[in-house]
Protein backbone atom coordinates (compact mmCIF):
# COMPACT_ATOMS: atom_id res chain seq x y z
CA UNK A 1 0.00 0.00 0.00
CA UNK A 2 1.33 3.37 -0.92
CA UNK A 3 2.10 5.82 1.86
CA UNK A 4 -0.54 8.34 2.84
CA UNK A 5 -0.12 11.74 1.28
CA UNK A 6 -0.51 14.96 3.23
CA UNK A 7 -4.11 16.15 3.19
CA UNK A 8 -6.29 18.09 5.62
CA UNK A 9 -7.07 16.29 8.87
CA UNK A 10 -10.78 16.01 8.12
CA UNK A 11 -11.32 14.15 4.87
CA UNK A 12 -14.77 14.05 3.34
CA UNK A 13 -15.65 12.58 -0.04
CA UNK A 14 -19.08 13.65 -1.18
CA UNK A 15 -21.41 12.56 -3.93
CA UNK A 16 -23.92 15.43 -3.84
CA UNK A 17 -27.65 15.16 -3.56
CA UNK A 18 -28.30 17.51 -6.45
CA UNK A 19 -26.27 18.72 -9.38
CA UNK A 20 -25.88 22.22 -7.96
CA UNK A 21 -24.24 20.70 -4.84
CA UNK A 22 -26.88 22.11 -2.47
CA UNK A 23 -28.02 20.08 0.51
CA UNK A 24 -31.38 21.78 1.12
CA UNK A 25 -34.48 19.67 1.73
CA UNK A 26 -35.83 18.20 -1.47
CA UNK A 27 -39.59 17.96 -1.88
CA UNK A 28 -40.74 14.82 -3.63
CA UNK A 29 -44.48 14.61 -3.91
CA UNK A 30 -44.32 11.56 -6.14
CA UNK A 31 -40.98 9.86 -6.03
CA UNK A 32 -41.67 6.59 -7.79
CA UNK A 33 -39.50 3.50 -7.69
CA UNK A 34 -39.23 0.84 -10.39
CA UNK A 35 -42.10 -1.08 -8.76
CA UNK A 36 -44.42 1.96 -8.99
CA UNK A 37 -44.51 2.52 -5.23
CA UNK A 38 -44.93 6.21 -4.36
CA UNK A 39 -43.38 8.17 -1.54
CA UNK A 40 -45.76 11.07 -0.84
CA UNK A 41 -43.78 13.10 1.68
CA UNK A 42 -40.62 15.10 2.07
CA UNK A 43 -37.90 12.73 0.94
CA UNK A 44 -35.45 12.03 3.72
CA UNK A 45 -31.78 12.63 3.24
CA UNK A 46 -29.52 9.62 3.44
CA UNK A 47 -25.85 9.79 4.37
CA UNK A 48 -23.57 6.83 3.75
CA UNK A 49 -20.52 7.13 5.98
CA UNK A 50 -17.43 5.24 7.05
CA UNK A 51 -14.05 5.83 8.65
CA UNK A 52 -11.13 4.74 6.47
CA UNK A 53 -7.72 3.90 7.87
CA UNK A 54 -6.08 6.50 5.60
CA UNK A 55 -7.14 9.10 3.08
CA UNK A 56 -5.52 6.98 0.35
CA UNK A 57 -8.19 4.31 0.82
CA UNK A 58 -11.68 4.53 -0.66
CA UNK A 59 -14.84 2.83 0.57
CA UNK A 60 -15.84 0.31 -2.06
CA UNK A 61 -18.81 -0.93 -0.03
CA UNK A 62 -20.46 2.49 0.30
CA UNK A 63 -20.25 3.01 -3.45
CA UNK A 64 -22.03 -0.30 -4.00
CA UNK A 65 -24.82 0.80 -1.65
CA UNK A 66 -25.08 4.15 -3.43
CA UNK A 67 -25.13 2.51 -6.87
CA UNK A 68 -28.10 0.34 -5.87
CA UNK A 69 -30.32 3.01 -4.26
CA UNK A 70 -32.37 3.46 -7.46
CA UNK A 71 -34.80 6.38 -7.10
CA UNK A 72 -33.43 7.24 -3.65
CA UNK A 73 -29.95 7.88 -5.00
CA UNK A 74 -30.58 11.57 -5.63
CA UNK A 75 -31.30 12.06 -1.92
CA UNK A 76 -28.09 10.38 -0.76
CA UNK A 77 -24.47 11.40 -0.35
CA UNK A 78 -21.29 9.61 0.64
CA UNK A 79 -19.10 11.00 3.40
CA UNK A 80 -15.75 9.35 4.08
CA UNK A 81 -13.54 10.20 7.03
CA UNK A 82 -10.28 8.90 8.46
CA UNK A 83 -10.03 7.26 11.87
CA UNK A 84 -7.58 9.88 13.14
CA UNK A 85 -10.33 12.54 13.00
CA UNK A 86 -12.08 13.36 16.28
CA UNK A 87 -15.51 11.76 16.63
CA UNK A 88 -17.14 15.07 17.50
CA UNK A 89 -15.82 16.65 14.29
CA UNK A 90 -17.13 13.75 12.23
CA UNK A 91 -20.54 14.13 13.86
CA UNK A 92 -20.57 17.83 13.06
CA UNK A 93 -19.82 17.16 9.40
CA UNK A 94 -22.50 14.48 9.13
CA UNK A 95 -25.17 16.58 10.85
CA UNK A 96 -24.42 19.51 8.53
CA UNK A 97 -26.20 17.51 5.83
CA UNK A 98 -29.33 17.21 8.02
CA UNK A 99 -29.74 13.48 7.39
CA UNK A 100 -32.72 11.37 8.38
CA UNK A 101 -30.93 8.05 7.75
CA UNK A 102 -27.24 7.33 8.23
CA UNK A 103 -25.64 4.10 7.07
CA UNK A 104 -22.23 3.20 8.54
CA UNK A 105 -19.75 0.70 7.13
CA UNK A 106 -18.17 -1.06 10.14
CA UNK A 107 -14.88 -2.96 9.96
CA UNK A 108 -12.30 -4.31 12.38
CA UNK A 109 -10.09 -1.25 11.86
CA UNK A 110 -12.80 1.32 12.62
CA UNK A 111 -15.14 -0.35 15.11
CA UNK A 112 -13.89 1.65 18.11
CA UNK A 113 -14.02 5.03 16.37
CA UNK A 114 -17.37 4.30 14.71
CA UNK A 115 -18.85 3.32 18.06
CA UNK A 116 -17.84 6.72 19.43
CA UNK A 117 -19.45 8.49 16.47
CA UNK A 118 -22.71 6.54 16.73
CA UNK A 119 -22.93 7.16 20.48
CA UNK A 120 -22.52 10.89 19.97
CA UNK A 121 -25.10 10.97 17.18
CA UNK A 122 -27.66 9.23 19.36
CA UNK A 123 -27.14 11.80 22.11
CA UNK A 124 -27.26 14.84 19.83
CA UNK A 125 -29.84 13.69 17.27
CA UNK A 126 -31.66 10.58 18.53
CA UNK A 127 -34.36 10.96 15.88
CA UNK A 128 -31.94 10.00 13.08
CA UNK A 129 -32.19 6.37 12.02
CA UNK A 130 -28.77 4.73 12.16
CA UNK A 131 -28.12 1.61 10.08
CA UNK A 132 -24.98 -0.50 10.53
CA UNK A 133 -23.46 -2.92 8.05
CA UNK A 134 -20.15 -4.56 7.23
CA UNK A 135 -18.22 -7.66 8.32
CA UNK A 136 -17.54 -6.52 11.89
CA UNK A 137 -21.26 -6.38 12.76
CA UNK A 138 -22.39 -9.30 10.61
CA UNK A 139 -21.49 -11.94 13.20
CA UNK A 140 -21.96 -12.16 16.98
CA UNK A 141 -24.07 -9.11 16.35
CA UNK A 142 -26.21 -8.80 19.44
CA UNK A 143 -23.27 -8.79 21.86
CA UNK A 144 -21.69 -5.66 20.41
CA UNK A 145 -21.94 -2.26 22.09
CA UNK A 146 -22.35 -0.38 18.83
CA UNK A 147 -25.41 -2.45 17.97
CA UNK A 148 -27.11 -1.41 21.19
CA UNK A 149 -27.19 2.25 20.14
CA UNK A 150 -28.11 1.69 16.47
CA UNK A 151 -31.60 1.35 15.01
CA UNK A 152 -30.90 -1.40 12.46
CA UNK A 153 -28.12 -3.77 11.48
CA UNK A 154 -27.85 -5.38 8.06
CA UNK A 155 -25.72 -8.51 8.16
CA UNK A 156 -24.07 -9.94 5.07
CA UNK A 157 -23.83 -8.24 1.63
CA UNK A 158 -26.25 -5.31 1.83
CA UNK A 159 -25.96 -4.06 -1.77
CA UNK A 160 -29.73 -4.33 -2.26
CA UNK A 161 -31.12 -4.76 1.26
CA UNK A 162 -30.02 -1.27 2.32
CA UNK A 163 -32.19 0.23 -0.42
CA UNK A 164 -35.19 -1.83 0.71
CA UNK A 165 -34.70 -0.82 4.36
CA UNK A 166 -34.48 2.87 3.46
CA UNK A 167 -37.66 2.58 1.43
CA UNK A 168 -39.45 0.90 4.33
CA UNK A 169 -38.34 3.65 6.71
CA UNK A 170 -39.49 6.32 4.27
CA UNK A 171 -42.88 4.66 3.83
CA UNK A 172 -43.24 4.37 7.60
CA UNK A 173 -43.41 0.58 7.36
CA UNK A 174 -40.14 -0.22 9.13
CA UNK A 175 -39.27 -3.82 10.01
CA UNK A 176 -40.09 -4.97 13.52
CA UNK A 177 -36.60 -6.43 13.99
CA UNK A 178 -33.34 -4.59 14.56
CA UNK A 179 -31.04 -7.23 13.05
CA UNK A 180 -31.85 -8.05 9.43
CA UNK A 181 -30.10 -10.76 7.44
CA UNK A 182 -29.39 -9.74 3.86
CA UNK A 183 -30.51 -12.34 1.36
CA UNK A 184 -28.08 -13.45 -1.38
CA UNK A 185 -28.53 -11.56 -4.64
CA UNK A 186 -27.22 -12.80 -8.02
CA UNK A 187 -24.29 -10.64 -9.14
CA UNK A 188 -26.05 -9.76 -12.39
CA UNK A 189 -28.79 -8.05 -10.35
CA UNK A 190 -26.33 -5.71 -8.60
CA UNK A 191 -25.53 -2.32 -10.12
CA UNK A 192 -21.77 -1.77 -10.38
CA UNK A 193 -20.30 1.19 -8.46
CA UNK A 194 -17.38 2.29 -10.60
CA UNK A 195 -18.92 5.44 -12.06
CA UNK A 196 -19.20 6.83 -8.53
CA UNK A 197 -15.47 7.12 -8.05
CA UNK A 198 -14.90 10.86 -8.22
CA UNK A 199 -12.18 12.66 -10.17
CA UNK A 200 -10.47 13.30 -6.81
CA UNK A 201 -10.50 9.54 -6.15
CA UNK A 202 -8.93 8.84 -9.52
CA UNK A 203 -6.16 11.36 -8.96
CA UNK A 204 -5.16 10.70 -5.37
CA UNK A 205 -6.63 7.45 -4.05
CA UNK A 206 -6.52 3.71 -4.48
CA UNK A 207 -9.43 2.32 -6.49
CA UNK A 208 -10.81 -1.02 -5.36
CA UNK A 209 -12.26 -3.29 -8.05
CA UNK A 210 -13.45 -6.89 -8.08
CA UNK A 211 -13.84 -9.34 -10.94
CA UNK A 212 -15.34 -12.00 -8.65
CA UNK A 213 -16.76 -12.55 -5.19
CA UNK A 214 -16.20 -15.39 -2.80
CA UNK A 215 -13.47 -17.95 -2.31
CA UNK A 216 -13.48 -21.75 -2.77
CA UNK A 217 -10.83 -22.29 -0.10
CA UNK A 218 -11.62 -22.90 3.56
CA UNK A 219 -8.74 -21.32 5.49
CA UNK A 220 -10.31 -20.97 8.91
CA UNK A 221 -8.69 -17.68 9.95
CA UNK A 222 -10.47 -15.90 7.06
CA UNK A 223 -14.12 -14.88 6.70
CA UNK A 224 -13.99 -15.90 3.05
CA UNK A 225 -13.89 -19.51 4.27
CA UNK A 226 -17.65 -19.15 4.82
CA UNK A 227 -18.21 -18.77 1.08
CA UNK A 228 -19.27 -21.85 -0.85
CA UNK A 229 -17.53 -20.86 -4.05
CA UNK A 230 -16.09 -18.00 -6.08
CA UNK A 231 -18.55 -16.31 -8.45
CA UNK A 232 -17.33 -14.09 -11.31
CA UNK A 233 -18.95 -10.90 -12.52
CA UNK A 234 -19.87 -10.97 -16.21
CA UNK A 235 -16.50 -10.29 -17.80
CA UNK A 236 -17.55 -8.08 -20.72
CA UNK A 237 -19.48 -5.69 -18.45
CA UNK A 238 -16.63 -5.64 -15.95
CA UNK A 239 -14.03 -4.77 -18.58
CA UNK A 240 -16.31 -2.07 -19.98
CA UNK A 241 -16.29 -0.46 -16.54
CA UNK A 242 -12.51 -0.77 -16.34
CA UNK A 243 -12.23 0.91 -19.74
CA UNK A 244 -14.39 3.82 -18.57
CA UNK A 245 -12.25 4.24 -15.45
CA UNK A 246 -9.10 4.05 -17.52
CA UNK A 247 -10.33 6.66 -20.00
CA UNK A 248 -11.19 8.94 -17.07
CA UNK A 249 -7.56 8.72 -15.97
CA UNK A 250 -7.58 5.90 -13.40
CA UNK A 251 -4.16 4.25 -13.12
CA UNK A 252 -4.21 2.71 -9.65
CA UNK A 253 -6.28 -0.49 -9.37
CA UNK A 254 -6.43 -2.85 -6.41
CA UNK A 255 -8.29 -6.09 -7.12
CA UNK A 256 -9.90 -7.43 -3.95
CA UNK A 257 -10.65 -10.88 -5.42
CA UNK A 258 -9.55 -13.44 -2.85
CA UNK A 259 -8.15 -15.74 -5.56
CA UNK A 260 -7.50 -13.69 -8.66
CA UNK A 261 -5.75 -16.52 -10.52
CA UNK A 262 -8.41 -19.13 -9.81
CA UNK A 263 -9.85 -19.11 -13.36
CA UNK A 264 -6.79 -18.79 -15.58
CA UNK A 265 -8.75 -17.95 -18.73
CA UNK A 266 -10.43 -14.99 -17.02
CA UNK A 267 -7.17 -13.95 -15.37
CA UNK A 268 -5.43 -13.93 -18.75
CA UNK A 269 -8.12 -11.75 -20.33
CA UNK A 270 -7.98 -9.18 -17.54
CA UNK A 271 -4.18 -9.09 -17.51
CA UNK A 272 -4.08 -8.70 -21.30
CA UNK A 273 -6.64 -5.87 -21.06
CA UNK A 274 -4.29 -3.87 -18.86
CA UNK A 275 -1.12 -4.88 -20.71
CA UNK A 276 -2.64 -3.48 -23.92
CA UNK A 277 -3.15 -0.16 -22.11
CA UNK A 278 0.15 -0.04 -20.27
CA UNK A 279 1.47 3.38 -19.27
CA UNK A 280 4.35 4.44 -17.04
CA UNK A 281 1.97 5.15 -14.16
CA UNK A 282 -0.33 2.11 -14.37
CA UNK A 283 -0.29 0.08 -11.13
CA UNK A 284 -2.16 -3.18 -10.50
CA UNK A 285 -2.47 -5.07 -7.21
CA UNK A 286 -3.65 -8.70 -7.14
CA UNK A 287 -4.02 -11.38 -4.49
CA UNK A 288 -2.88 -14.69 -5.96
CA UNK A 289 -2.52 -18.27 -4.79
CA UNK A 290 1.14 -19.24 -5.20
CA UNK A 291 0.78 -22.84 -6.35
CA UNK A 292 -1.37 -22.09 -9.42
CA UNK A 293 0.73 -20.32 -12.05
CA UNK A 294 0.53 -22.26 -15.34
CA UNK A 295 3.07 -21.61 -18.09
CA UNK A 296 0.83 -19.40 -20.26
CA UNK A 297 0.09 -17.09 -17.33
CA UNK A 298 3.79 -16.90 -16.46
CA UNK A 299 4.59 -15.89 -20.03
CA UNK A 300 2.08 -13.05 -19.81
CA UNK A 301 3.28 -11.87 -16.40
CA UNK A 302 6.85 -11.65 -17.68
CA UNK A 303 5.75 -8.97 -20.17
CA UNK A 304 4.69 -6.42 -17.53
CA UNK A 305 7.24 -3.65 -16.92
CA UNK A 306 8.79 -2.76 -13.59
CA UNK A 307 6.55 -0.86 -11.20
CA UNK A 308 3.27 -2.04 -12.73
CA UNK A 309 2.44 -5.18 -10.70
CA UNK A 310 2.18 -6.07 -7.04
CA UNK A 311 1.23 -9.57 -5.95
CA UNK A 312 -0.02 -10.29 -2.45
CA UNK A 313 0.71 -13.96 -1.82
CA UNK A 314 -0.64 -15.67 1.27
CA UNK A 315 1.71 -18.35 2.55
CA UNK A 316 0.67 -18.09 6.24
CA UNK A 317 2.67 -21.19 7.21
CA UNK A 318 4.72 -23.93 5.58
CA UNK A 319 4.01 -26.33 8.44
CA UNK A 320 1.89 -29.21 7.18
CA UNK A 321 0.34 -29.96 10.57
CA UNK A 322 -0.75 -26.35 11.06
CA UNK A 323 -2.09 -26.21 7.50
CA UNK A 324 -4.25 -29.24 8.27
CA UNK A 325 -5.52 -27.65 11.50
CA UNK A 326 -6.81 -24.59 9.63
CA UNK A 327 -8.10 -26.51 6.56
CA UNK A 328 -5.56 -24.86 4.27
CA UNK A 329 -4.61 -26.69 1.11
CA UNK A 330 -1.26 -25.59 -0.30
CA UNK A 331 1.44 -27.27 -2.34
CA UNK A 332 4.46 -25.96 -0.47
CA UNK A 333 7.07 -27.11 -2.97
CA UNK A 334 5.17 -25.59 -5.89
CA UNK A 335 4.57 -22.38 -3.95
CA UNK A 336 8.29 -21.91 -3.27
CA UNK A 337 9.17 -22.76 -6.84
CA UNK A 338 6.71 -20.15 -8.15
CA UNK A 339 7.86 -17.47 -5.71
CA UNK A 340 11.41 -17.89 -6.93
CA UNK A 341 10.26 -17.89 -10.55
CA UNK A 342 8.37 -14.62 -10.06
CA UNK A 343 11.46 -12.98 -8.53
CA UNK A 344 13.76 -14.19 -11.28
CA UNK A 345 11.52 -13.73 -14.32
CA UNK A 346 9.13 -10.83 -13.62
CA UNK A 347 9.31 -7.27 -12.34
CA UNK A 348 6.36 -7.81 -9.99
CA UNK A 349 6.68 -6.61 -6.40
CA UNK A 350 6.11 -9.67 -4.20
CA UNK A 351 4.38 -9.16 -0.85
CA UNK A 352 4.16 -12.52 0.96
CA UNK A 353 2.18 -13.11 4.16
CA UNK A 354 2.85 -15.21 7.24
CA UNK A 355 0.56 -15.50 10.29
CA UNK A 356 1.88 -16.15 13.78
CA UNK A 357 -0.32 -17.75 16.44
CA UNK A 358 -2.18 -20.30 14.33
CA UNK A 359 -3.39 -23.40 16.22
CA UNK A 360 -0.54 -25.88 16.48
CA UNK A 361 2.17 -23.39 15.53
CA UNK A 362 5.20 -23.09 17.80
CA UNK A 363 8.03 -20.59 17.94
CA UNK A 364 10.31 -23.06 16.14
CA UNK A 365 7.84 -24.05 13.41
CA UNK A 366 7.14 -20.41 12.67
CA UNK A 367 10.88 -19.70 12.58
CA UNK A 368 11.23 -22.48 10.02
CA UNK A 369 8.43 -20.99 7.86
CA UNK A 370 10.05 -17.55 8.02
CA UNK A 371 13.45 -18.92 7.00
CA UNK A 372 11.98 -20.85 4.08
CA UNK A 373 10.02 -17.83 2.89
CA UNK A 374 12.98 -15.47 3.28
CA UNK A 375 15.05 -17.67 0.98
CA UNK A 376 12.29 -17.38 -1.64
CA UNK A 377 13.31 -13.70 -1.76
CA UNK A 378 9.97 -11.85 -1.70
CA UNK A 379 10.35 -8.08 -1.53
CA UNK A 380 8.25 -8.00 1.65
CA UNK A 381 7.31 -10.55 4.29
CA UNK A 382 4.22 -9.29 6.07
CA UNK A 383 4.17 -10.88 9.50
CA UNK A 384 0.59 -10.86 10.66
CA UNK A 385 -0.56 -11.85 14.13
CA UNK A 386 -3.64 -14.09 14.18
CA UNK A 387 -6.84 -12.12 14.81
CA UNK A 388 -10.20 -13.42 15.89
CA UNK A 389 -12.44 -12.20 13.08
CA UNK A 390 -16.07 -12.54 14.14
CA UNK A 391 -17.66 -15.42 12.28
CA UNK A 392 -14.40 -17.08 11.23
CA UNK A 393 -14.21 -20.84 11.96
CA UNK A 394 -10.85 -20.47 13.73
CA UNK A 395 -12.73 -20.20 17.03
CA UNK A 396 -13.51 -23.92 16.91
CA UNK A 397 -9.92 -24.47 18.07
CA UNK A 398 -10.18 -22.16 21.07
CA UNK A 399 -10.44 -24.83 23.74
CA UNK A 400 -8.26 -27.52 22.17
CA UNK A 401 -5.32 -25.15 21.64
CA UNK A 402 -6.09 -22.75 24.51
CA UNK A 403 -6.36 -19.79 22.14
CA UNK A 404 -6.55 -16.55 24.13
CA UNK A 405 -7.52 -13.47 22.16
CA UNK A 406 -7.47 -9.81 23.05
CA UNK A 407 -11.06 -8.83 23.96
CA UNK A 408 -10.47 -5.41 22.36
CA UNK A 409 -9.87 -4.58 18.69
CA UNK A 410 -7.99 -5.80 16.72
CA UNK A 411 -8.76 -9.02 18.68
CA UNK A 412 -5.21 -10.33 18.24
CA UNK A 413 -4.00 -13.61 19.73
CA UNK A 414 -2.29 -13.18 23.12
CA UNK A 415 -1.18 -16.75 23.82
CA UNK A 416 -1.81 -20.38 22.90
CA UNK A 417 -1.02 -23.73 24.48
CA UNK A 418 2.33 -23.63 22.63
CA UNK A 419 3.16 -19.92 22.63
CA UNK A 420 3.34 -17.91 25.86
CA UNK A 421 2.32 -14.27 26.12
CA UNK A 422 5.99 -13.33 26.55
CA UNK A 423 6.91 -15.11 23.32
CA UNK A 424 3.99 -13.47 21.56
CA UNK A 425 5.32 -10.09 22.58
CA UNK A 426 8.77 -10.97 21.23
CA UNK A 427 7.22 -11.84 17.88
CA UNK A 428 5.16 -8.64 17.89
CA UNK A 429 8.37 -6.64 18.30
CA UNK A 430 10.10 -8.73 15.63
CA UNK A 431 7.22 -8.01 13.23
CA UNK A 432 7.33 -4.27 13.95
CA UNK A 433 11.09 -3.96 13.44
CA UNK A 434 10.94 -6.20 10.38
CA UNK A 435 8.38 -3.86 8.85
CA UNK A 436 10.65 -0.86 9.52
CA UNK A 437 13.84 -2.56 8.36
CA UNK A 438 13.10 -5.57 6.17
CA UNK A 439 9.94 -4.45 4.39
CA UNK A 440 10.71 -0.76 4.02
CA UNK A 441 13.26 -1.28 1.27
CA UNK A 442 15.57 1.23 2.98
CA UNK A 443 18.18 -1.40 3.83
CA UNK A 444 18.32 -3.34 0.58
CA UNK A 445 22.15 -3.16 0.38
CA UNK A 446 22.92 -3.90 4.02
CA UNK A 447 20.29 -6.43 5.08
CA UNK A 448 21.44 -9.36 2.88
CA UNK A 449 24.91 -9.02 4.46
CA UNK A 450 23.53 -8.80 8.00
CA UNK A 451 21.38 -11.93 7.82
CA UNK A 452 22.92 -15.37 7.39
CA UNK A 453 21.42 -18.71 6.41
CA UNK A 454 19.38 -18.43 9.62
CA UNK A 455 17.74 -15.04 9.04
CA UNK A 456 15.11 -15.43 11.75
CA UNK A 457 17.69 -15.98 14.51
CA UNK A 458 19.84 -13.11 13.28
CA UNK A 459 16.99 -10.67 13.07
CA UNK A 460 15.55 -11.75 16.41
CA UNK A 461 18.93 -10.95 17.96
CA UNK A 462 18.82 -7.48 16.36
CA UNK A 463 15.22 -7.02 17.53
CA UNK A 464 16.05 -7.77 21.13
CA UNK A 465 19.23 -5.67 21.06
CA UNK A 466 17.39 -2.60 19.73
CA UNK A 467 14.46 -3.02 22.12
CA UNK A 468 16.75 -3.47 25.12
CA UNK A 469 18.64 -0.37 24.06
CA UNK A 470 15.64 1.89 23.39
CA UNK A 471 12.46 0.35 24.82
CA UNK A 472 10.74 1.63 21.68
CA UNK A 473 8.97 0.00 18.75
CA UNK A 474 7.45 3.23 17.45
CA UNK A 475 8.60 6.80 16.88
CA UNK A 476 12.17 5.92 15.99
CA UNK A 477 13.57 8.50 13.57
CA UNK A 478 15.10 7.20 10.35
CA UNK A 479 18.58 8.49 11.19
CA UNK A 480 18.42 6.88 14.63
CA UNK A 481 17.27 3.62 13.06
CA UNK A 482 20.37 3.57 10.86
CA UNK A 483 22.53 4.24 13.91
CA UNK A 484 20.86 1.46 15.90
CA UNK A 485 21.31 -1.10 13.14
CA UNK A 486 24.98 -0.22 12.81
CA UNK A 487 25.45 -0.46 16.57
CA UNK A 488 23.60 -3.77 16.83
CA UNK A 489 25.71 -5.33 14.07
CA UNK A 490 28.90 -4.10 15.77
CA UNK A 491 27.76 -5.59 19.06
CA UNK A 492 26.27 -8.85 17.77
CA UNK A 493 28.25 -9.66 14.61
CA UNK A 494 31.54 -7.74 14.88
CA UNK A 495 33.10 -9.79 12.09
CA UNK A 496 30.50 -8.36 9.69
CA UNK A 497 30.63 -4.76 10.80
CA UNK A 498 33.18 -3.34 8.35
CA UNK A 499 31.38 -4.81 5.33
CA UNK A 500 27.94 -3.90 6.64
CA UNK A 501 28.88 -0.31 7.48
CA UNK A 502 29.86 0.29 3.86
CA UNK A 503 26.51 -1.09 2.71
CA UNK A 504 24.61 0.94 5.29
CA UNK A 505 26.25 4.09 3.95
CA UNK A 506 24.87 3.25 0.49
CA UNK A 507 21.40 2.75 1.98
CA UNK A 508 21.68 5.98 3.93
CA UNK A 509 22.68 7.94 0.83
CA UNK A 510 19.59 6.61 -0.92
CA UNK A 511 17.32 8.12 1.76
CA UNK A 512 18.53 11.61 0.79
CA UNK A 513 18.40 12.73 4.40
CA UNK A 514 20.15 16.06 4.86
CA UNK A 515 22.02 15.11 8.04
CA UNK A 516 25.42 13.50 7.69
CA UNK A 517 25.79 9.83 8.50
CA UNK A 518 28.27 9.72 11.34
CA UNK A 519 28.42 8.78 15.00
CA UNK A 520 27.89 5.13 14.15
CA UNK A 521 29.71 3.82 17.18
CA UNK A 522 28.13 2.23 20.21
CA UNK A 523 27.73 5.58 21.95
CA UNK A 524 25.52 7.26 19.33
CA UNK A 525 22.32 6.75 21.33
CA UNK A 526 23.80 8.32 24.44
CA UNK A 527 24.96 11.29 22.38
CA UNK A 528 21.46 11.71 20.96
CA UNK A 529 19.95 11.61 24.45
CA UNK A 530 22.42 14.24 25.61
CA UNK A 531 21.41 16.54 22.78
CA UNK A 532 17.77 16.06 23.73
CA UNK A 533 18.49 17.06 27.32
CA UNK A 534 20.35 20.15 26.13
CA UNK A 535 17.34 21.16 24.03
CA UNK A 536 15.08 20.80 27.06
CA UNK A 537 17.43 22.99 29.12
CA UNK A 538 17.44 25.60 26.35
CA UNK A 539 13.61 25.74 26.42
CA UNK A 540 13.66 26.25 30.20
CA UNK A 541 16.15 29.08 29.82
CA UNK A 542 13.99 30.73 27.16
CA UNK A 543 10.99 30.76 29.52
CA UNK A 544 13.10 32.19 32.36
CA UNK A 545 14.80 34.93 30.34
Determine the pLDDT at residue 520.
52
DSSP, res 165: H
Which pTM was predicted? 0.87
Stretch (H or E) spanning 310: strand 309-316
Rg, C-alpha atoms of the chain: 26
The per-residue pLDDT for range 31-81, each reduced to its tens digit, is 444 443 444 456 789 999 999 999 999 999 999 999 999 999 999 999 999
Residue predicted with more confidence, 309 or 532: 309
Non-local CB neighbours of 466 within 8 Å, separated by 6+ positions: 433, 484, 485, 488
- Is residue 42 helix, strand or coil? strand
Q: Which has the minimum average pLDDT: 18-22, 168-172, 384-388?
A: 18-22
Identify the pLDDT of residue 458.
98
- pLDDT 10s digits, 106-147: 999 999 999 999 999 999 999 999 999 999 999 999 999 999
Banded pLDDT at 216 (limits 50, 70, 90): confident
Number of H helices, E strands in the chain: 18, 18
CA distances from 245 to 65, 249, 262, 307, 512 (A): 19, 7, 24, 20, 36
pLDDT score of 170: 95
- DSSP letter for each residue of 327-352: T----HHHHHHHHHHHHHH--PEEEE
The answer to whether 53 and 205 have CB atoms below 8 angstroms apart is: no
H/E run at residue 393: none
SS3 per-residue string spanning 468-480: HHHCCCCCCCHHH
- Domains of the chain by range and CATH? 27-188 (3.40.50.280), 206-419 (3.80.30.20), 420-545 (no CATH)
Provide, rounded to the nearest whole percent, the portion of the chain with pLDDT above 70.
87
Q: What is the mean pLDDT of residues 486-497?
A: 95
- Position 225 scores a pLDDT of 85
Amino acid sequence: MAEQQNYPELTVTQIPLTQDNTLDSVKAESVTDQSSHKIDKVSPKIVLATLNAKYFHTSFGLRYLYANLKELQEFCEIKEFIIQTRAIDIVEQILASKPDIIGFGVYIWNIVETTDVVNLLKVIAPEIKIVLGGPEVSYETEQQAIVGCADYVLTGPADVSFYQLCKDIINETPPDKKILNSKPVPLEDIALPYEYYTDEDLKHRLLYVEASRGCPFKCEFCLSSLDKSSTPFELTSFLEQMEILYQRGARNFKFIDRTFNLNIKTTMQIMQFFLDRMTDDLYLHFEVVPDHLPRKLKELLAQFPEGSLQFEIGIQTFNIEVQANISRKQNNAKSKENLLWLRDNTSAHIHADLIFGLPGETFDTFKDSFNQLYHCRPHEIQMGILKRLKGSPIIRHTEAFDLRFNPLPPFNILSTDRVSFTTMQRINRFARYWDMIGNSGRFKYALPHILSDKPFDDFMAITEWIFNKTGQIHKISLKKLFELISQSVEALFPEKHQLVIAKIELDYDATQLKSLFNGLNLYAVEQTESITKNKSLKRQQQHMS
